[in-house]
Structure 1
Amino acid sequence: MASAWYAFARWATKTFFYGSKGGLRSVGQENVPLTGPLIVAPNHVSNLDPPAVACGTKRRQLRFMAKEELFKGFLGKLISSLGAFPVKRGEGDTESIRNAIAILESGEALLIFPEGTRGDGRTMLPVNRGVTMLAKRTNALVLPVGIIGTHIVSPKGAKGKSHPMLVAYGEPFTYQQTATGANERENRELFAAELEKRILALCNANGLPLKSAASIEGSAESGGPAPELAG
């Protein structure tokens, strides 16, 4: 159940901000579990992604990891009031990891970008070990999410334009369901591959022809031309 402040902020952001940028809609909201620990795992192509995922569903209130540089002044107070907590990127931040584990163990929903940073809207970066560790450690359901269109409205390092945006929520699964390998290393790889496959499928089914980094590298190594990717 979302707090009144969170619900108001979600409504206002979706109605006035995203509404002025081309509109935001969602599909697959029925896949979002109403209760229990949940890792919400989308692709990441724009700074607009975190609020887009939160605005896309009324079924859960989400907690967020955000880079510590954002926790200054009014913006820092605002995102803190909406459930964000800081993480130090590029180094081992044990406090943020403990916070994430505690949030999931208390039965909340936590938004984590498996790629760790924004991609270019053409290629999905590899799934990092942080989300894999949390999925294994907490036994939380993992909800794959595809975000489409935000990279056009607010692209990385460029000027955007108005464009319809979509958040697609897929079917959740657990680390344990994919852990069929001979050892833990294989199990981690199997989980990462499954999560990547599901996110890519959601993106491609809803208009974003995102490719995996491995498929691009494989094409280049085979001697053939890399596939043409839409922006």
Structure 2
Amino acid sequence: MRKWLLRLLWVAAALLISLRYRVRAVGRERVPAAGAVLLLGNHVSWLDWLLVQIALRRRLLRYMMERSIYESPVLRWMFRLGRTIPVSSKASKQAFEEAAAALNAGEAVGIFPEGGISRRCEIEKFYRGFEIIASQSHQGEIVPFYIEGMCGSRLSYTRKTHAGRRWSLRRPVTVVFGAPMPLGSSADTVRGAVMQLKDTIAQ
């Protein structure tokens, strides 16, 4: 029942998002259709988690999320339904263990390693929390991704500083997925892969 309800919600969300955003996926065949995978990429807006999910054929992606957002009275029911993994500085160990258990169960987990939404439209430092998760996981691989097009949007912190682009009825957004990487890849290595994806789009 939970899975069917989630799929229904994803379909509804995708339809709503399509009214404002034209999402294009590049390289989504690099994300395995089944089995453990850790998706790591940049964080530009409040909508990123949904854009990545829409860009994939694979549903039921589990995300790690800051607990203060997870506890939102309005959205908490949805986060719980989607089995989102709340994380905070005071309870990171439990969150890391839950994420590792999800990978060991063959699930897909999404993390934004910058630790928050960028305020400069730049790829910030990648924190090493996901390395701890990977070290506790017995299977899976990393797939890096890069989101292009949300810089300066109303749902970002860069609305005023990067709002020079021409307004359009449907904002074009590209989510590009990179080649799979070993689960033991370092934060710097994964960040470098995401940077390369950014450069690929810019060409």
Normalising by structure 2, we get a TM-score of 0.84
Helix, strand or coil at the partner of 1:125: coil
Per-residue CA deviations over 1:8-66 (Å, capped at 9, x if unaligned) read 222222221x2232321211111011222111101111111111111111224200111
User: What aligned pairs does 1:49-128 form with structure 2 within 5 A after superposition?
Assistant: 49-70=48-69, 71-88=71-88, 90-128=89-127
Which residue is equivalent to 1:37?
A: 36
Q: Distance in 2 between matches of 1:28 and 1:6?
A: 24
Q: Distance in 1 between matches of 2:65 and 2:105?
A: 20
Which residue is equivalent to 1:199?
A: 194
RMSD: 2.3
Per-residue CA deviations over 1:125-163 (Å, capped at 9, x if unaligned) read 112111122223314300101111123322216467652
Helix, strand or coil at the partner of 2:62: strand
* 1:96 shift after superposition: 1.1
Normalising by structure 1, we get a TM-score of 0.74
Amino acid in the other structure paired with 2:26: V
- Contact 1:31–1:172 under 8 Å retained in 2: yes
* 1:108 shift after superposition: 0.5
- Contact 1:135–1:142 under 8 Å retained in 2: no
Q: Report whether the alignment pairs 1:167 with 2:168.
A: no
User: What aligned pairs does 1:176-191 form with structure 2 within 5 A after superposition?
Assistant: 176=184, 191=186
Identity in percent? 25
Q: Distance in 2 between matches of 1:193 and 1:72?
A: 32
- Contact 1:32–1:60 under 8 Å retained in 2: no
- Contact 1:38–1:109 under 8 Å retained in 2: yes
* 1:95 shift after superposition: 1.6
- Contact 2:141–2:181 under 8 Å retained in 1: yes
- Contact 2:142–2:180 under 8 Å retained in 1: yes
* 1:175 shift after superposition: 3.5
- Structure of higher CA gyration radius: 1
Helix, strand or coil at the partner of 1:12: helix
Which residue is equivalent to 1:142?
A: 142
Q: Distance in 1 between matches of 2:198 and 2:15?
A: 23
| Displacement over 3 Å in runs of 4+ | 157-162
Amino acid in the other structure paired with 2:182: T
Per-residue CA deviations over 1:183-226 (Å, capped at 9, x if unaligned) read xxxxxxxx22321121111122224x9xxxxxxxxxxxxxxxxx
* 1:121 shift after superposition: 4.8
Q: Kindly indicate which of the two structures has a greater share of residues assigned to helix.
A: 1
- Contact 2:25–2:175 under 8 Å retained in 1: yes
- Are the structure 2 counterparts of residues 118 and 74 from structure 1 closer, same or farther at C-alpha, using a change threshold of 3 Å? closer
- Contact 1:29–1:59 under 8 Å retained in 2: no
Unmatched tracts of structure 1, length 5 or more: 179-190, 210-231
- Are the structure 2 counterparts of residues 59 and 115 from structure 1 closer, same or farther at C-alpha, using a change threshold of 3 Å? same
